[in-house]
Amino acid sequence: MSTAREQPIFSTRAHVFQIDPATKRNWIPAGKHALTVSYFYDATRNVYRIISLGGAKAIINSTVTPNMTFTKTSQKFGQWADSRANTVYGLGFASEQHLTQFAEKFQEVKEAARLAREKSQDGGELTSPALGLTAHQVPPSPLVSANGPGDEKLFRSQSADAPGPTERERLKKMLSEGSVGEVQWEAEFFALQDSNNKLAGALREANAAAAQWRQQLEAQRAEADRLRQRVAELEAQAATEPPTVTEKEGPGQSLEQLEALVQTKDQEIQTLKSQTGGTREAPDTTEREETQQKVQDLETRNAELEHQLRATERSLEEARVERERARAEVGRAAQLLDVRLFELSELREGLARLAEGAP
């Protein structure tokens, strides 16, 4: 079969079926996947054909005649009988829209074939009917219906080239015994098979992504365990190290010790004051003077300690300021050193270029 002189005028994809020639009631799928089904127009012979190829084999090779009728048996399935090929073709589409488009194109091609036959019989000049398939509307031919299961009807038109009575009865029996439910189930089966393949691919991708996420989770858990162990080691090391000496330690004693000593002296002063003011018996003059003297000595000592504490704090603050100033000086010196090193590097490169350029 050669389609070099034929031009495609419409193409779609569908699951292709043929009636079983042995049982005359079951559909035989042409393949596991949808095939391309196309309308071809032969301008030389004014012939329209429906062709579908499965590899190098022609699955459908049906010449459209004015007597053919395409019948929708469900929302996604349609069929037509080809008396010349002595078979019935069925197409399962992915959607009702694709089925409607194919049926409309079938009607247009059928009308164009009728016009071409009439002009051929009249002997007039033929023009390409493919340019205006819907330009003429004619009343439909008388139809003969054959009722199938589920009140489904398959129509075939009467014509001059219709098969004989025996062949007609055989085709009627074949169409009436065909189960529309089986056609729908088989079409849905192949559609579900395609969906299953897509879902299987998506499931494989999801499993691969889950495995990758699981590996990342294990890596993060290992990193968390390592950090937790490191924190425990640092805490144990901090517990075993002796406490460091604070910055506020003076030459002889720390600020904490001085503050504790001041508080102790304050308590002694308060105790002495309470003893002197709490006794109802009047002490003699000597004891009162000694007590007052002790109180004065303690207050003086307390004032000296407070003065020493403030002096120590001032010295610490001055030392901190001096350390910050020294740190700033060191930073500036480091920057200056970097500049000098850069200038020295440029000078060395310049001397090297001069040495290379010298004769």
DSSP structure class, residue 41? E
Read off the DSSP letter of residue 282.
P
Tokens of 325: 């100033």
pLDDT at position 78, please? Answer: 94
Give Cα 74 distance to the centre of its chain.
36
Helices (H) and strands (E) in the chain, counts: 5, 10
The pLDDT, as a whole number, for residue 253 is: 53
Q: Which residue has the tokens 């001069």?
A: 354
DSSP secondary structure code for residue 254 in this structure: B
Closest CA relative to residue 116, chosen from 197, 44, 222: 44
By the 8 A CB rule, do 111 and 136 touch? yes
- 8-119 — its CATH code? 2.30.29.30
Q: Report the relative pairing of strands 143-147 and 153-157 from DSSP bridges.
A: antiparallel
Q: What is the pLDDT along the chain (359 residues), one digit of tens a residue?
A: 544 567 889 999 999 999 988 887 889 998 888 999 999 998 888 889 999 988 788 899 999 999 999 999 999 999 999 988 889 999 999 999 999 999 999 999 999 989 888 887 776 444 444 444 433 333 333 333 333 333 333 333 333 344 456 766 666 555 555 544 555 566 667 677 677 778 888 888 888 888 888 888 888 888 888 888 888 888 888 777 655 544 444 545 567 777 788 788 788 877 877 766 555 445 567 877 888 888 888 888 888 888 888 888 898 899 889 889 888 888 888 888 888 888 888 888 888 888 887 76
Q: Which residue has the tokens 């694709």?
A: 98
Answering whether pTM is above 0.75, one says no
Element (H, E) at 186: helix 180-240
pLDDT reported for residue 135: 34
Question: Please, are residues 250 and 312 in contact by the beta-carbon 8 Å criterion?
Answer: yes
Distances (CA, A) of 199 to 35, 93, 194, 203, 225: 21, 20, 9, 6, 38
Distance, CA of 262 to CA of 80 (rounded, Å): 115
pLDDT at residue number 157: 35
At 138 the pLDDT is 34
Q: How far apart are CA 220 and CA 119, in angstroms?
A: 82
Q: What are phi and psi of 24, to 5 degrees?
A: 60, 20
**Cα Rg, the chain, nearest whole Å:** 54
What confidence score (pLDDT) does residue 262 get? 79
Residue 184 bridge partners (DSSP) = none
- Domain range summary for the chain, segments of one domain joined by +: 8-119
Can you read off the two tokens belonging to residue 58?
Answer: 């022609």
The rounded distance, in Å, linking the Cα atoms of 338 and 326 is 18
SS3 218: helix
- Whole-angstrom distance, CA of residue 1 vs CA of residue 51: 10
Q: 245 φ, ψ to 5°?
A: -80, 130
d(CA 276, CA 285): 12
Tell me, what's the pLDDT at 331? 84
* Helix, strand or coil, per DSSP, at residue 14: strand
In one-letter notation, the amino acid at residue 148 is G
Q: Pairing between strand 35-42 and 153-157?
A: unpaired
Residues in a beta bridge with 77: 92
Query: 300 φ, ψ to 5°?
Result: -65, -45
Tell me the three state secondary structure of residue 245. Answer: coil
CA distance 332 to 324: 12
Letter string b/e over residues 44-78, b meaning 16 or more CB atoms within 10 A of that residue's CB: eebebbbbbbeeeeebbebbbbbbbbbbebbebbb
The predicted structure's pLDDT at residue 252: 52
Candidates 193, 192, 183; CA nearest to 74 is 183
| pLDDT given at position 126 | 43
